[in-house]
Chains A and B, each alone.
Chain A
Amino acid sequence: MGVPLKKINTLLALAAALALGVSVVSCSKSGDSDVIKIGVFEPLTGANGAGGADEVDGVKLANKLYPTVLGKKVVLVVVDNKSDKVEAANAATVLVQKEKVNAVIGSWGSSLSMSGGPIFAEAKTPAVAVSATNPNVTKGNEYYFRVCFLDPFQGTVNAAYAFNVLKAKKVAIIREVSNDYSVGLAKFFVDEFVKLAGDEKAIVATSDYNTGDQDFSAQLTNIKKYDPDVIFAPGNYTESALIIKQARALGMKAQFLGGDTWDENAFLEVGGAAVEGATFSTFFANDVPINKTSEAFLKSFRDEYKKEPAAVAALGFDAYRVILDAITRANSAEPQKIRDALTQTKDFEGSAGSITINAERNADKAAVFKTVKDKKFVFLTTVKP
């Protein structure tokens, strides 16, 4: 025995320590990259709970149909931003700091998305908004994308619809004043309508309310004396349904016009007979599939949930697949690389229409008009940008 036993022992210990160290490192490495985490940033409670839940339905369905990418499992981390701007910032922080997600989907509601935006940007984590239509969601935020159209477009087509199709002369506006989406959409509508009518006075009245309000009788009574042809009232579906209900109870017969947020079953349930005839622009129509992916989506959604999908469910489905597509093209799940790949998204066939991400990280898409008929949403027409 040339080498003393003691020395061998030391060597053995060293080797063991090395092996252990290496294994610890490799373990943590593989632990990080075994799964790809996608954060789902949505309101599941509060005023927007139904909208958030519908988007989550679409995302979960996509996750079930496409559970892996690059040979790794995709795990959804769902957080509730509680329909509240402050809670939304907290939820976003949880996603990027505690869960360290690779990418984020959400949120329903532009205000909530904007609340999370700076946090995602700071963490350099890409986020794909599903149905947030306010321009400021992606403006100046290199990490925020979206798969839906924007409010300047939506406001414009609504104004054109009111002027050309509904032949409105006098329009009243009801805004949800604490909601960036509603205020922005109303502004784009007013700008375009005044231009079309060539008359500042075509907008006869503007009224405001707060998120979560229940009583709108005072605002409606004020509007009633102007006897408008059309009332443009973009805002949350439940408040909007109550507004229309209370307007009818006050004997107002004006045509109600709104935005994509009304495309929720809760709007029909709460509004009942009062919302018959209410018309709005949205992303997707169930009764008229746009392409092969829409048909496949509609079929699997109906099989999975035994109900009709909301438009935002289709967009949630698309947002998930756009992220997976970016991961595939980047051949990496690193957030920065996903972000760079997302900017290159081109002619991706989504269930709610083809998606091309432009330089402003937005998608150029057509708007669909729907109305309520016999307690159902019915497709009216499509308006291309």
Chain B
Amino acid sequence: MDLQTFLQQFVNALSLGSLYALIAIGYTMVYGILRLINFAHGDIFMVGGYLAFYGVTTFLMPWWLAVVVAIALTTIFGVGLERVAYRPLRDSPRISIMISAIGASFLLENLAIVLFDARPKAFHVPDFFAANFILSGVHIASVSLIIPVVTAVILAVLLWMVHSTRVGMAMRAVSTDIDAARLMAIDVDRIVSITFAIGSALAAVGGIMYALKYPRLEPLMGIMPGLKCFIAAVIGGIGSIGGAVLGGLLLGIIELMTVAFLPELTGYKDAFAFVLLIVVLLVKPTGLLGKNQGEKV
């Protein structure tokens, strides 16, 4: 493999990895605070993509407005989902709330099939994102540059928020011990709602970025990225924001490099993600950056 091809593959991998990282952050946020694996995350991601699509096509908004509206609506939707499907079960055994999450995921998928139609829809990509740069023979789509930047900005903002603001402090308190946090006069319901709002907004951003990179929307589009980004979050250490980014990048790079260097194994590239998960869990059960039951945000 010559250098130019390798650089091209590296750019491809980085672009995919940072997209995974972006989605994985949302998983890890919700888990970090609530110890809840939000299986519906991939489906909220799908809803975000569709809302942006309808904003542009049905309501004829300019793309930036459609994106903002889609993120806002998805945020409200995610908070609503928590109210309906998770909050009533907060004091139930953990397994109940997990099953409720799986149920919510199936409900959203099938509802989307009914409402949005199962036929794939083409997502409108603004010229700004479709532009293409050539850097010493390496082709870089502008969306491949934008996604890592968005991921980095979100990472920085979340780290600052969790570690340096009062809300973040409350989040960490809820994460450590819900009952003790309540005794300290922390409004747990509010903190959980805020967490879900952030998680859903991140899912919406992820969904839109994904649709910009792969402009095809379908009701089940969230399942595979959802699963992979969950793996990414676990590999990095679920609950750790930095870990989610690391896991996402790692997963994207491994997936693409498998295809690049071992083309005959292409059919198994998804299997590599799962094998990696098993290996990491065997060697370091808490994930690469996870800490043992310590501060989990």
Residues of A near any B CB (own CB < 8 A) = 44-47, 49-50, 53, 177-178, 207-210, 212, 214-215, 217-219, 221-222, 224-225, 238, 241-242, 245, 249-251, 266, 269-270, 272
Contacts and interface: CB of A to CB of B under 8 A. Distances in A.
B60 interface: no
Interface string B213-242: 111101110001000000000000000000
Interface stretch (B41-49, B115-123, B185-193, B243-251): B115-123
B9 A49 contact: no
B214 A266 contact: no
A49 B218 contact: yes
A272 B122 contact: yes
Contacts of A49: 118-120, 218
A221 B266 contact: no
B256 interface: yes
A111 to B, nearest CB: 14
8 contacts: A46-B220, A49-B218, A53-B119, A208-B263, A218-B13, A219-B259, A222-B5, A251-B139
Contact of B8 (A47, A177, A221, A238): A221
Contacts of B215: 242, 245, 270, 272
A270 B270 contact: no
Contact of B260 (A47, A53, A221, A249): A221
B263 A207 contact: yes
Given A46-B220, A177-B266, A222-B259, 14 more contacts: A177-B267, A178-B267, A214-B213, A217-B16, A218-B13, A218-B257, A218-B259, A221-B9, A249-B132, A249-B139, A249-B141, A251-B132, A272-B122, A272-B215
A198 B257 CA distance: 34
B2 interface: yes
Given A45-B113, A221-B12, A270 B266 contact: no
A217 B270 contact: no
Given A241-B216, A249-B141, A221 B5 contact: yes
Contact of A214 (B139, B141, B216, B267): B216
Nearest to A49: B118
Contacts of A238: 120, 216, 218
Contact of A44 (B16, B118, B213, B259): B118
Given A221-B9, A270-B215, A210 B270 contact: yes
A218 B256 CA distance: 6
Interface in B198-220: 210, 213-216, 218-220
Given A219-B259, A221-B5, A208 B266 contact: yes
B275 interface: no
B8 A250 contact: yes
Given A210-B270, A217-B12, A45 B263 contact: no
Contacts of A207: 263, 266
Interface string B10-47: 00110110000000000000000000000000000000
Contact of A45 (B134, B210, B220, B267): B220
Instruction: Using C-beta atoms within 8 Å of the partner chain, give the interface range for chain B.
Output: 35 or more
Contacts of A249: 132, 139, 141
Contacts of A250: 8, 139
Given A214-B214, A251-B134, A219 B263 contact: yes
A272 B15 CA distance: 22
Nearest to A212: B224
Nearest to A80: B118
A368 B113 CA distance: 33
Nearest to A219: B259
Contacts of A44: 118
Contacts of A212: 224
A222 B12 CA distance: 12
Contacts of B257: 218
A217 B256 contact: yes
A129 B120 CA distance: 23
Contacts of A218: 9, 12-13, 256-257, 259-260
B219 A269 contact: no
B256 A45 contact: no
- Chain A CB within 10 A, most for which of B132, B255, B256, B259: B259
A376 B263 CA distance: 34
Contact of A270 (B118, B122, B141): B122
Contacts of A241: 216
Contacts of B267: 177-178, 208, 210
Interface string B124-145: 0000000010100001010000
Contacts of B121: 269
A224 B13 CA distance: 16
Given A215-B256, A272-B122, A242 B5 contact: no
Contacts of A221: 5, 8-9, 12, 260
Nearest to A44: B118
* Most chain B beta carbons < 10 A, residue from A47, A218, A272: A218
